[in-house]
């Protein structure tokens, strides 16, 4: 059974991504205040020994003020953050990363093990820089972006809000991906990708438009 601490960080979301977030929190020296999820069938189950205590609103019953949203899907993570305007969002950086000291990383963003963040990088809020991703110098990564594992961004790339880059995506230096677009695993971005599309392949090409979500 996990330790419940007044100072702990609430983990919102109890799916597969939550275990990775809990592991990263612990490695970074935080304690886990509890795990919360809307799915009632998960209540009472455990993730890495931490019980799923109830719906996200219940975190207040445990005196928790700091939280991180452990949901990999960008739209769902966005919606969850809007539900809690008063919470303090915890930024978490795994100790086994290289993050240049002048890189700026926003609230609620998590940087996973073995990632590398180069100088003069700006990363927004509630982003996920997943396992062994590389973010090159002068890149901008806006809010609610998910950069999947082993993705490599060359220098001066720009990733707009809500983009999902699948596993192993490569971005040629200076390229840009528009808001809420998805780039499939293994894609190579050699020229700018517009907003709200699925792009796949090497070189990445637009496959289809994505339905606009009510944000």
Ligand X SMILES: CC(C)(COP(=O)(O)OP(=O)(O)OC[C@H]1O[C@@H](n2cnc3c(N)ncnc32)[C@H](O)[C@@H]1OP(=O)(O)O)[C@@H](O)C(=O)NCCC(=O)NCCS
What are the residues binding ligand X (CB under 6 A)? Answer: 72, 130, 148-149, 166-167, 182, 184-186, 198, 200-201, 207
Kindly tell me which of 25 and 71 has the beta carbon lying closer to ligand X.
71
Query: Shortest gap between Cβ of 21 and ligand X (angstroms)?
Result: 12
Query: Shortest gap between Cβ of 133 and ligand X (angstroms)?
Result: 10
Q: Which residue is listed with tokens 């928790």?
A: 64
Q: Which residue is listed with tokens 């990445």?
A: 204
Cβ count within 10 A of residue 19: 16
Query: Shortest gap between Cβ of 146 and ligand X (angstroms)?
Result: 7
Kindly tell me which of 58 and 188 has the beta carbon lying closer to ligand X.
188
Are residues 146 and 128 in contact, defined by beta-carbon separation less than 8 angstroms?
yes
Kindly tell me which of 55 and 184 has the beta carbon lying closer to ligand X.
184
Query: Shortest gap between Cβ of 200 and ligand X (angstroms)?
Result: 4
Kindly tell me which of 13 and 149 has the beta carbon lying closer to ligand X.
149
């Amino acid at each position: 059974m996990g330790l419940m601490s007044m100072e702990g960080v609430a983990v919102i979301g109890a799916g597969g991504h939550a275990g990775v977030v809990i592991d990263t929190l612990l490695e970074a020296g935080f304690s886990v205040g509890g795990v919360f999820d809307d799915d009632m069938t998960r209540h009472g189950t455990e993730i890495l020994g931490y019980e799923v205590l109830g719906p996200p609103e219940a975190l207040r019953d445990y005196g928790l003020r700091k939280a991180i949203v452990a949901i990999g899907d960008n739209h769902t993570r966005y919606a969850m953050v809007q539900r809690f305007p008063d919470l303090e969002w915890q930024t978490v950086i795994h100790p086994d990363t290289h993050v240049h000291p002048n890189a700026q990383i926003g609230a609620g963003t998590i940087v996973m093990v073995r990632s590398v963040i180069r100088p003069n990088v700006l990363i927004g809020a509630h982003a996920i820089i997943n396992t062994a991703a590389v973010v090159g110098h002068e890149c901008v990564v806006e809010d609610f972006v998910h950069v999947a594992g082993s993705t490599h961004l060359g220098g001066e790339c720009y990733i707009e809000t809500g983009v999902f880059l699948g596993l192993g995506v490569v971005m040629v230096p200076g390229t840009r991906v528009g808001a809420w677009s998805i780039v499939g695993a293994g894609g190579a971005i050699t020229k700018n990708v517009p907003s709200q599309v699925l792009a796949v392949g090497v070189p990445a090409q637009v496959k289809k438009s994505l339905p606009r979500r009510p944000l």
